[in-house]
Structure 1
Amino acid sequence: MLAARFHTFGGPEVLRVEEVPWPWPQRDEVLIRVAASSVNGSDLRLRSGSGPISLTVRRPYTTGLDVAGTVVGVGPRVTAFMPGERVFGLLGHGGGGAAEYVTVPQSRVAHLPDALALAEAAAVPLSGLTALQALREGASLHRRPGARVLIHGAAGGIGSFAVGLARHFGAVVTGTARASKLDFVRTLGADEALDTASLDLTRGGRTWDVIFDTPPALDFARVRASLAPGGVYVTTQPFPLRPAELAATLGGPGPRFAAVRTQERSSDLAFLARRLAQGDLRVPLDRTFPLARIADAHRHVGGPEARGKTVVLIGSDSPSQNRQ
């Protein structure tokens, strides 16, 4: 079968589409014929060898953390899925999504509603789960009706899902992005869109109940003045904690600090699938690329014009008319 791999760290040019051995499901794994996989910031960091995440990489490495497709085989302990069912899931840092077939533990996979296209479903897992777990568990937003929420980096993959989820939880949403992407942020459902170039959260001129730093690019100590009493700052960068962040994590008076570490939970994937099927949430799909052009997909995601999610189309289940 074909898979997109890299043998050395570097830019998008190190990606190669190669023949690799066919996988086979073990114990509680499902074998998926892959229709599509999305490109995340984590994929770029794993490929380039930057940051601690790259220490987990064994090369040659098959890129792709998100996957959507059809089950074609199951391990002997699989109880929740059968061949022929459409699914999507999060593979974790082991990757493997940008391939014609992949095996995934059933705990990381969920069924797809018929109304959701596989190309759209592939955009959901990592970004959608991160946004959901940050807002629901990190910020307890489902218990804060009418909360004022600032989503920093609202035009990105995580941020664009966070806007829709925050609205679903009844929040009043302010999204930040560069000036050229503010209209896009408004189309996601943000009540207000602010230019990051002119944003200054250190003055405390106005406050929010939740600040979700998706890139992550802010500093808890510096934005604390912009948090309401009892407010919470949630970041996707959990470590290392600075003294102010550690103190806020342990509790006490004043704003709180929380960091999200994305969990590959099928129950949360099912929650996202229901929200998408019912129209409470939409997939912010930016562009699609065929597997042969996966290097171009990585270039686009790493460039200044990317917004929402970029998906790589792989199998015959993918709609070829969507290719860029």
Structure 2
Amino acid sequence: MAPTNRAAFYPSDKASKLKVDVSPYPTAGENDVIIKVAVAAVNPVDHKIQTAGTDIFPFLTYPYVGGIDVAGTVAEVGASVTKFRPGDRVLGFPSDFACRAGGYQEYTAVPASVVTLLPARTSFLDAATLPSSVATGAVALYQYLNLAHPSVPARPRNGQTLLVTAGASCVGSHTIQLAVASGYEVITTSSPHNFAHCTAMGASRVFDYHSATLVQDVKDAFKGKQCAGAFSSVESSNALVFDVVSASEGSKSVACSILFSPETVPADLKVEWIHAYYIKDTPLADVIFGTFLPAALASGQYKAAPKPHVVGTGLESVQAAFEISRANAVSCEKLVVTLTEEA
């Protein structure tokens, strides 16, 4: 008999509050891993779905269970899954827009290609901060910018420099670490109180994004360097990235995590709006989630960052986490909710 399951639903399009109720237990597809969720993390997209709903995500159907970052224990696996077994400690990137695949429930279905076996040193709290941000950074760097894949230990510096904005954000933190493991120097931006965090991630130089001279300062930093491209991880940094890369020697490719207006792109640049979901069931997923990430976490080379900020315990705490995210009330932290005592 299948376990009982509960979820925090968006009950209808643009409903102002989540509803916590029973939910069907997600049966495992052939290539799925069913995870008993110990910790789920919250992302800005979650409160945007609540506010804008089908205006920006027209493919959603309701009731809907969101959540794209989880860590927990394998409950069962699909018939073709051989890398995992019940009882394994894992992180996962629920990457299908469907109730059975949302992270805000006790059990969720995750494609095995975007599940990582956790080393003993990595807690569920830390692990839940990784999946979607790692996927986003990997798609930007390796699917779009076509950079060399990361390795353990990190590749030697290759003489090329990458610009990654918002280095203290979750996406920025992981993109920096991936790029450094791939042999690239990284220049980033953040608030001054997060400079130390960015250098701990591996950035060689960090610039204050509030500075009136930011654009020129970053342009100057790239003088004499071979640009490997750039990743604009927040919409507000698109203009900066376009200016800097256009003025630099080397690659003219830019990946953006947020939609941009084509008319704002200089004629010499190639710019793409990328999505974390592009990694699912690809050879890159095997490289990042299957090989690199477990080895890098086990060795201590890769850090779970930023630190988790626990909003509360239980599915009832998810809405409170949305409100904190909506208010932009945390810096260099990842909002998480715990669902089990194992967290």
Please report the TM-score for the alignment, with normalisation by the length of structure 2. 0.79
1:269 aligns with 2:289: yes
Aligned counterpart, 2:9: 5
Q: How far did 1:301 drift?
A: 2.8
Q: How far did 1:243 drift?
A: 8.5
- Of residues 113, 118, 125 in structure 1, which corresponds to 2:119? 113
Aligned counterpart, 1:201: 215
The answer for unaligned runs of 5 or more in structure 2 is 150-156
Aligned counterpart, 1:299: 323
Q: How far did 1:234 drift?
A: 2.1
Distance, in Å, in 1 between the alignment partners of 2:230 and 2:55 is: 25
SS of equivalent to 1:18: strand
SS of equivalent to 1:55: coil
Q: How far did 1:99 drift?
A: 0.8
Distance, in Å, in 1 between the alignment partners of 2:324 and 2:204 is: 28
- Of residues 213, 222, 225 in structure 1, which corresponds to 2:232? 213
Which 4+ residue blocks in structure 1 deviate beyond 6 angstroms?
none
Distance 1:87 1:176, change over 3 A: same
- Once the two structures are superposed, what CA deviation does each residue of 1:45-78 show, in whole Å capped at 9, x if it has no partner? 2222268652232122112112221122233343
Q: How far did 1:213 drift?
A: 0.4
Q: How far did 1:202 drift?
A: 6.8
> Map of 1:14-33 to 2, 5 A cutoff?
14-33=17-36
Distance, in Å, in 2 between the alignment partners of 1:221 and 1:186 is: 23
> Map of 1:232-243 to 2, 5 A cutoff?
232-237=253-258, 241-242=262-263
8 Å CA contact retained: 1:149, 1:172: yes
Q: How far did 1:298 drift?
A: 2.0
Q: Percent of pairs identical after alignment?
A: 25
8 Å CA contact retained: 1:202, 1:222: no
> Map of 1:88-127 to 2, 5 A cutoff?
88-92=91-95, 93-94=97-98, 95-127=101-133
Distance, in Å, in 1 between the alignment partners of 2:53 and 2:26 is: 28
Q: How far did 1:226 drift?
A: 3.8
Distance, in Å, in 1 between the alignment partners of 2:133 and 2:216 is: 28
Matched letter for residue 146 of structure 1 = G
1:287 aligns with 2:287: no
Aligned counterpart, 1:252: none
- Once the two structures are superposed, what CA deviation does each residue of 1:182-233 show, in whole Å capped at 9, x if it has no partner? 3433343322221112154379444261322001331365444443233432
> Map of 1:155-194 to 2, 5 A cutoff?
155-194=168-207
8 Å CA contact retained: 1:128, 1:272: no
- Of residues 238, 257, 279 in structure 1, which corresponds to 2:271? 257
Q: How far did 1:175 drift?
A: 1.8
The answer for unaligned runs of 5 or more in structure 1 is 249-254, 319-324
8 Å CA contact retained: 1:36, 1:98: no
Q: How far did 1:176 drift?
A: 0.8
Distance 1:197 1:243, change over 3 A: closer
Distance, in Å, in 2 between the alignment partners of 1:200 and 1:50 is: 35
- Once the two structures are superposed, what CA deviation does each residue of 1:296-320 show, in whole Å capped at 9, x if it has no partner? 22233331433242222112321xx
Q: Quick check: 91-100 or 71-80, which moved more?
A: 71-80
Q: How far did 1:156 drift?
A: 1.1
Aligned counterpart, 1:146: 159
Distance, in Å, in 1 between the alignment partners of 2:78 and 2:179 is: 37
Q: How far did 1:112 drift?
A: 2.2
